[in-house]
Structure 1
Amino acid sequence: MQAVLVELALEHGSPVLADYLKASAKAHGSARLTAVSLKMVEQAAALAVAQPQLDHGVGMWFRPLVAQRLKAEGIATLGDLIDFCNGRGGSWWRAVPRIGAGRARLIVAWLRRHEAVLERRVDADVDLADPLTAPAGELVTIDGGSRALVPLERMAVGHALSGAHGSNRSGAFPYISAHHDLDAVRTYLYRFRQQPKTLRAYTKELERFLLWSVTVRKKPLSSLLADDCEAYKDFLASPDPAFVGPKAPRASGRWKPFASAELGAESQKYAIRALRAAFGWLVAVRYLAGNPWEAVTDPVVVERIDRIRVDRALPAALWQRIRNFIDMQCDAADASYWRAVRVVLLLGGDSGLRREELARATRERLSPTSFGDAETPVWQLLVIGKRSKERVVPVSPATIDALQMHWRDRGLDFCTATSGPLLAPMFIPRTRLAQKKHADGTPLAYHPDSLNTMIAWAMKRLIAGMPDLTTAETNLLAGTSPHAFRHTFGTQATAEDVPLDVVQRVLGHASLQTTSIYVQAEKQRMLREVNDFYRKNGSL
Structure 2
Amino acid sequence: MSLDAFGSVGFGALAGSEPQYASFVEAWLANRRLSANTREAYRRDVANFLAWCLDGGIDPLQAMFTHVNTYARHLEQQIDVRTGRPLTPATVARKLSGLSSWYDFMIKLGVVGTNPVAGADRPYVSRDHSATVGMSPSEVDALLYTAALDSARAHAIVTLLADLGLRVGELVALDIADLGHERGHRTVRFHAKGGKQRRRALAPGTAEAVDSYLRQRGERAGVAPEELSGPLFVTDKGRPVDRHAIFRLVRRLAEKAGIPSAAKLSPHSLRHAFATTARAEGVPLEDVQDAMGHADPRTTRRYDRDRHNLDRDPSYAIWAARARRAP
Preserved CA contact (<8 Å) 2:89 2:123: yes
Q: CA deviation at 1:340?
A: 0.9
Q: Look up the match of 1:235.
A: 70
Cα distance in 1, alignment partners of residues 98 and 46 from structure 2: 7
Counting matched residue pairs gives 288
Please state if 1:383 is matched with 2:211. no
- Counterpart of 1:359, as a letter, is V
- Counterpart of 2:224, as a letter, is D
Please state if 1:421 is matched with 2:216. no
Q: Deviations over 1:218-259 (max 9, x none)?
A: xx444x3xxx513314433655xxxx88899xxxxxxxxxx9
TM-score w.r.t. structure 1 length? Answer: 0.46
Q: Look up the match of 1:206.
A: 50
Cα distance in 2, alignment partners of residues 383 and 292 from structure 1: 37
Cα distance in 2, alignment partners of residues 518 and 267 from structure 1: 16
Cα distance in 2, alignment partners of residues 505 and 188 from structure 1: 35
Please state if 1:499 is matched with 2:320. no
11, 14, 18: which one aligns with 1:132 = 11
Q: Which has the higher contact order (CA 8 A, sep 6+)?
A: 2
Q: How does 1:51-450 map to 2 (within 5 A)?
A: 132-134=11-13, 152=14, 156=17, 182-191=18-27, 192=29, 195-212=39-56, 214=57, 220-222=59-61, 224=62, 229-236=64-71, 238=73, 270=94, 273-285=97-109, 288=111, 290-293=112-115, 296-299=118-121, 301-309=123-131, 311-313=133-135, 315-327=136-148, 329=149, 338-371=151-184, 378-411=185-218, 412-414=223-225, 416-417=226-227, 419-428=229-238, 444-450=239-245
- SS of 1:393's equivalent in the other structure is strand
Cα distance in 1, alignment partners of residues 104 and 133 from structure 2: 39
Q: Deviations over 1:127-157 (max 9, x none)?
A: xxxx8345xxxxxxxxxxxxxxxxx357x4x
Q: Look up the match of 2:265.
A: 480
- Counterpart of 1:323, as a letter, is L
Q: CA deviation at 1:266?
A: 5.5
Q: CA deviation at 1:445?
A: 1.3
- SS of 2:189's equivalent in the other structure is strand
Preserved CA contact (<8 Å) 2:250 2:267: yes
Q: CA deviation at 1:203?
A: 0.5
What percent identity do the matched residue pairs reach? 18
Q: Deviations over 1:314-358 (max 9, x none)?
A: x2233334434544x2xxxxxxx5111111111011111111111
Preserved CA contact (<8 Å) 1:360 1:421: yes
Preserved CA contact (<8 Å) 2:179 2:186: yes
Q: CA deviation at 1:380?
A: 1.9
Distance 1:449 1:299, change over 3 A: same
Q: CA deviation at 1:279?
A: 3.7
TM-score w.r.t. structure 2 length? Answer: 0.73
- SS of 2:164's equivalent in the other structure is coil
Q: Deviations over 1:64-90 (max 9, x none)?
A: xxxxxxxxxxxxxxxxxxxxxxxxxxx
Cα distance in 2, alignment partners of residues 264 and 311 from structure 1: 13
Runs of 5+ consecutive residues of structure 2 not aligned to the other structure: 1-9, 31-35, 313-327
Preserved CA contact (<8 Å) 1:206 1:275: no
Preserved CA contact (<8 Å) 1:385 1:391: yes
Q: CA deviation at 1:390?
A: 2.1
Q: How does 1:22-33 map to 2 (within 5 A)?
A: none
Distance 1:380 1:298, change over 3 A: farther
Cα distance in 2, alignment partners of residues 324 and 275 from structure 1: 42
Preserved CA contact (<8 Å) 2:89 2:125: no
- SS of 1:312's equivalent in the other structure is coil
- Counterpart of 1:316, as a letter, is P
Distance 1:294 1:362, change over 3 A: same
Q: CA deviation at 1:297?
A: 2.4
Cα distance in 1, alignment partners of residues 303 and 294 from structure 2: 12
Distance 1:481 1:237, change over 3 A: closer
Q: CA deviation at 1:285?
A: 4.5
Q: CA deviation at 1:209?
A: 2.9
Distance 1:525 1:455, change over 3 A: farther
Q: CA deviation at 1:397?
A: 1.3
Distance 1:338 1:271, change over 3 A: closer
Preserved CA contact (<8 Å) 2:49 2:71: no
Q: Deviations over 1:34-80 (max 9, x none)?
A: xxxxxxxxxxxxxxxxxxxxxxxxxxxxxxxxxxxxxxxxxxxxxxx
Cα distance in 2, alignment partners of residues 486 and 406 from structure 1: 22
Cα distance in 1, alignment partners of residues 292 and 88 from structure 2: 27
Q: Look up the match of 2:315.
A: none
- SS of 2:257's equivalent in the other structure is helix
Distance 1:395 1:302, change over 3 A: same
Cα distance in 2, alignment partners of residues 424 and 189 from structure 1: 31
Q: CA deviation at 1:449?
A: 0.7
What RMSD in Å do the two structures reach over aligned CA positions? Answer: 3.6
Cα distance in 1, alignment partners of residues 243 and 187 from structure 2: 22
